[in-house]
Structure 1
Amino acid sequence: MDYSEDQNYQSDDDYNNTDYELIGPCSHQNNQSVEQVVGPYVHSIICILGFVGNSLVIVTYAFYKRTKSMTDVYLLNVAVADLLLVASLPLIVYNELSAWSMGPVACKLLRGSYSVNLYSGMLLLACISTDRYIAIVQARRSFRLRSLSYSRLICAVVWAAAFLLSVPTFYFYNWYEPTHSIDAFMEEDEANRTAGPPQYVCEFQFLDNTTAWRTKVAVPGTQLAVGFFLPLLVMVFCYSAIIATLLRARNFQRHKAVRVVLAVVVVFVVCHLPYNLTLFYDTTTMFQLHSCEESDLLQTAKTVTQTVAYLHCCLNPVLYAFVGVKFRNHFRKIFLDLWCLGKRHIAPRRFSRVTSKIYVSTQRSVDRSSENGSSFTM
């Protein structure tokens, strides 16, 4: 959240003079240089990888694997949330690099949907952790607690909670033309407006200072509490108990399962901890006076760490879906079907019988391996 209050303030000695030197908002040149690289290039790679990975998860569940367990329902909803997140990211980045040209409705919808998908994705990761805890640690109770009806109800509650948490974003984000409140810059602003089309932004807009203060603290504070610390605490508790249970089990696959658990926690912390620490520092020092150099450094840190946090959308399909043996077998079916379909189009008469036999045999082998396979993702 970039606001115009980050300005270069004069020292007390300067105010003792009779002439006051007014300085405009900080330019944040270093942050703009980083955004010119991160925005069009790094974010494009993240969007492509996240779109492909999460789309494959959704296609697999839609055509090859029915949602038979609570974990399947959670994984499908996580893929939907991540897919919507990476789909809205290019539009937001494009409009941040230039003036917002999509109008007020798109401003509210994109910003609001981004917040909804962020909260829902993080809360669903906490649900997956709880589901795995019940399946492994509380195995005797898992049959009663892990049902499709419960999972669908929990997912509905998660999406409703994410929407309610995003109501301030929907309400306070507006499409407007920013203006300086200093009278000395009015003539220069008028000249700039007449020189070209008006430059609109999609940012928070408030009618009074009290609402601005409360919202600027409440929105990032809620994101920190619900969107990071709550899932982190749930994951640490659940996966610690899971690791202790797996280490006591006499299973040759326990070491692999422990590595998967550690990878899930480490990737989550590495991706989200830097940005949330930066956001926490920005929130606690929001109403303190900063120099332009400090403000520029903080904005650059937020840009870089937020990009690292976006990487988690690309890694979720690998960590939660593709690691499982059963899911990999269904995923392999997609390529087998595509290969058979391509062979039929290339040489339909010559290879029709051969490819059909190969497809049937491979499909049976995959089905048998999927029935016998087991993994930590269950």
Structure 2
Amino acid sequence: MDDLSEFFDFFNDTSYTLTESVVTVEVPLCNKGNVIQFGAAFLPAFYYTNFLLSLVGNALVLYIIFKYEKLSTVTNIFLLNLVISDLIFASSLPFWAVYHKSEWIFGRSLCKLVGSCYTIGFNSSILFLTLMTFDRYLAVVHAISAAQSRRNTYAFASAATVWMLSIFASIKDIVLYDVMDGSNGLLCEVTGYHQTILTKWELVGYYQQFLLFFLVPLVIVLYCYIRITIRIMSTRMMAKFRAVKLIFVIVFTFFICWTPYNVVILLKAIKTSVGDLNDCSEALDYALYITRNFAYLYCCISPVFYTFLGKKFQSHFLKLLSKHMPCLKLDTLMSMPSNGSKTTSGAQTRITDH
């Protein structure tokens, strides 16, 4: 709480005066030559890989939804929105790959558009994952009462709220991102305003990311899956231990992929708000490069990850393979459960199937 107090004190500080909000001089940048070289060698290949994984994986999820499922269910509406958000995020990665390899060659308008698409996709992805977790919690823990409230209206209203929050969080990127001349070519960065204003908006972005798009979702995810686990363990399910194991995998993966990146974000916020603004140490820059890409990877594969944990979507995928690879047809039929072999209760179905 002390850090947050210092942050708001910093924002309310009126000890300085500005004659102009917008300045024509360039914002002074630290010499990050080593970090830039590291990014140029490491990031482009990673971004292209993430883009291809997201494109192929999300296209597969979309095909299965439209081929075998209905968009009239709440879960599929959320899943469709998650796929869209991940595709929006992934669409920005090739641009950043080229940028890190050389310089920004796409112009001022695309600098603002790509920067905002990155933010909208990245933030909406984590919110939709949280929303899907909460919906799963309602379906399992409050199955009877939630049956009346989990309607399409609830799904569309929830999805619209997520998109509005994500777009609102990206407004600063639309305003602040611009093309500027750097020592190694054209840069697409936040620029054009006094350093004090840019520092304050940087802090807004850091604390917004950590609090709204990590800490709150993490608390909700942990609470929901703890309650789901307690509910499952209190029933007489034959496959309840498999369901608990799946929950552990989901929470563990979420925690591993998102926590390091957001810890680095918090450290950068603390450094910016209470540290020396002229400190050009590179340790956090390297840490941000590495940890951010784990979060990127999770964003790109999350629809595939969440979809194919469910037996129903696994069955759809096997049907799809059997049509294009007839040699798998026998194995597909053998792997699909018969109508009389269901040993799990409705709650288990809601955990593993979407």
**Shorter-chain-normalised TM-score: which range?**
0.7 to 0.9
Work out whether residues 325 and 375 of structure 1, in 8 Å CA contact, stay in contact via their aligned partners in 2.
Answer: no
- Tell me the secondary structure at the aligned position of residue 281 of structure 2: helix
Structure 1: which 4+ aligned runs deviate by more than 4 Å? 365-369
Aligned length, in residue pairs: 320
Work out whether residues 39 and 100 of structure 2, in 8 Å CA contact, stay in contact via their aligned partners in 1.
Answer: no
Structure 2: segments with no counterpart, 5+ residues: 1-27
Q: Distance in 1 between matches of 2:210 and 2:98?
A: 26
Counterpart in the other structure of 2:233: 247
Is residue 268 of structure 2 the alignment partner of residue 282 of structure 1? yes
CA shift at 1:285, angstroms? 0.6
Q: Distance in 2 between matches of 1:240 and 1:176?
A: 48
Work out whether residues 57 and 317 of structure 1, in 8 Å CA contact, stay in contact via their aligned partners in 2.
Answer: yes
TM-score, normalised to structure 2, is: 0.81
Q: How does 1:44-123 map to 2 (within 5 A)?
A: 44-123=48-127
- Tell me the secondary structure at the aligned position of residue 200 of structure 1: strand
Work out whether residues 123 and 158 of structure 1, in 8 Å CA contact, stay in contact via their aligned partners in 2.
Answer: yes
Q: Percent identity among equivalent residues?
A: 26
- Among 22, 29, 32, the alignment partner of 1:28 is 32
Q: Give the letter for the 1:38 counterpart.
A: F
Counterpart in the other structure of 2:14: none
Q: For residues 121 and 203 of structure 1, do their structure 2 counterparts lie closer, same or farther at Cα, with a shift above 3 Å needed?
A: same
TM-score, normalised to structure 1, is: 0.76
Q: For residues 242 and 106 of structure 1, do their structure 2 counterparts lie closer, same or farther at Cα, with a shift above 3 Å needed?
A: same
Work out whether residues 30 and 300 of structure 1, in 8 Å CA contact, stay in contact via their aligned partners in 2.
Answer: no
CA shift at 1:90, angstroms? 1.8
Radius of gyration: which is bigger?
1
CA shift at 1:67, angstroms? 2.2
Q: Distance in 1 between matches of 2:84 and 2:34?
A: 35
- Tell me the secondary structure at the aligned position of residue 295 of structure 1: coil
- Tell me the secondary structure at the aligned position of residue 178 of structure 2: strand
Work out whether residues 321 and 377 of structure 1, in 8 Å CA contact, stay in contact via their aligned partners in 2.
Answer: no
Q: Distance in 1 between matches of 2:179 and 2:33?
A: 24
Per-residue Cα deviation, 1:249-294 (whole angstroms, up to 9, x for no partner): 11011111111111111111100111111111111112533787x6
Q: For residues 47 and 30 of structure 1, do their structure 2 counterparts lie closer, same or farther at Cα, with a shift above 3 Å needed?
A: same
Q: For residues 34 and 126 of structure 1, do their structure 2 counterparts lie closer, same or farther at Cα, with a shift above 3 Å needed?
A: same
Q: For residues 273 and 291 of structure 1, do their structure 2 counterparts lie closer, same or farther at Cα, with a shift above 3 Å needed?
A: same
Q: Distance in 1 between matches of 2:300 and 2:117?
A: 19
Q: Distance in 1 between matches of 2:61 and 2:215?
A: 27
CA shift at 1:45, angstroms? 2.4
Q: Larger deviation: 205-214 or 325-334?
A: 205-214
Is residue 182 of structure 2 the alignment partner of residue 207 of structure 1? no
Counterpart in the other structure of 1:11: none
Q: For residues 314 and 165 of structure 1, do their structure 2 counterparts lie closer, same or farther at Cα, with a shift above 3 Å needed?
A: closer
Q: Distance in 1 between matches of 2:338 and 2:78?
A: 25
Per-residue Cα deviation, 1:115-155 (whole angstroms, up to 9, x for no partner): 01111111111111111111111111121121222112211
Counterpart in the other structure of 2:322: 336
Per-residue Cα deviation, 1:301-329 (whole angstroms, up to 9, x for no partner): 11011111112024413431001111111
Counterpart in the other structure of 1:324: 310
Q: Give the letter for the 1:376 counterpart.
A: I
Counterpart in the other structure of 1:40: 44
Q: Larger deviation: 283-292 or 120-129?
A: 283-292
Q: How does 1:1-378 map to 2 (within 5 A)?
A: 26-178=30-182, 199-286=185-272, 288-289=275-276, 295-339=281-325, 374=349, 376-378=351-353
Q: Distance in 2 between matches of 1:329 and 1:291?
A: 57
CA shift at 1:84, angstroms? 2.1
Work out whether residues 257 and 375 of structure 1, in 8 Å CA contact, stay in contact via their aligned partners in 2.
Answer: no
Q: Give the letter for the 1:289 counterpart.
A: D
